[in-house]
Structure 1
């Protein structure tokens, strides 16, 4: 069931990516395995350049993706293939890799079929602003937490404080070494 859903999503994205289906159609009949996390999907490429579930046969290419790659691809270009491992037929692997890198979801296009163009654009714009706001808020919170931990709570050291401390330790070590030599000379007399 998850495998079918994953292939549907990928085929949908292929349909919205210019040239992707044509590039894949050159490999009609080729078999591949796509694995992400605990999910593995065996598929073949049909004459239209789409993925069709295939339970039989040995895959010519195995693509191992990060567990959340399919979901991150919706909002982050190239997320699908970042950190991927590809094994097998080099030409097929190169075509699959290029197509998977260029897949991007056009949420406004899909929403416009349901709610119309103006509302879809507004919804996607609002969602983008909310996502940017959440990222900004997360960055500010992390910065504030770091400052609190370093300045107020004394849990962390700033790099400048660590450098100063290190310099002082070095000076103390050198002074101690000179003092030991002096004591040694005095004891010899």
Structure 2
């Protein structure tokens, strides 16, 4: 899917050390499979991926468990990733691909300036932390509830209603954070 190449190249650009290392693989073609998406590209001399005109030299495939682990901040295990084709090339590329990190502050600074980017980043981090704490608390409560000997089996309707309430709480928290941010802005003036 060549439409995702600019996204991957943006990540590569934000990670200069990985970009320099990837430039050593100029002319090699990689097929990357993750979360139902396939990206195939050939590395150029600058370490960026270009549309591939030939078959992949190596394929790296992340199974669904690997994607979930990454989203949860965990490191995928050996069984979560498979490499085919030129396995030596795949094994060499895997840590470089895995080291790519998105740095939102870079983009926010470019769009809004350094001062605004810092404020946006802090508020977003606080909101994310709050949402994560709420989620962990709910999971903990569910775990405690399930341990009760008289715990009823929840039907689909009850679970759906509860899920809707959790979504509403999350949305309310996000709106609250936005209002706080606006109030902070007004107080600065």
Once the two structures are superposed, residues 19-52 of structure 1 have per-residue CA deviations (whole angstroms, 9 ceiling, x without a partner) of 2122111111111211223322221111111101
Give the greater-gyration-radius structure (CA). Answer: 1
CA positional deviation for 1:90: 3.4
RMSD, matched Cα: 3.0
CA positional deviation for 1:68: 9.2
> Runs (4+) of structure 1 moved beyond 3 Å?
66-79, 148-156
Higher helix share: 2
CA 149–33 in structure 1, closer or farther in 2 if over 3 Å, else same: closer
Once the two structures are superposed, residues 123-160 of structure 1 have per-residue CA deviations (whole angstroms, 9 ceiling, x without a partner) of 1121122111111111111222333344484349xxxx
Aligned position for 2:138: 141
CA positional deviation for 1:75: 8.5
Aligned position for 1:13: 11
TM-score between the two structures when normalised by the length of structure 2: 0.67
Q: Which runs of 5+ in 1 are unaligned?
A: 157-189
> Per the alignment, in what secondary structure is the counterpart of residue 32 of structure 1?
strand
CA distance in 1, matches of 2:144, 2:67: 35
> Per the alignment, in what secondary structure is the counterpart of residue 42 of structure 2?
strand
TM-score between the two structures when normalised by the length of structure 1: 0.67
Q: Map of 1:69-80 to 2, 5 A cutoff?
A: 76=73
Which moved further from structure 2: 33-42 or 69-78?
Answer: 69-78
CA distance in 2, matches of 1:92, 1:86: 9
> Per the alignment, in what secondary structure is the counterpart of residue 80 of structure 2?
coil
CA distance in 2, matches of 1:112, 1:69: 31
CA positional deviation for 1:11: 0.9
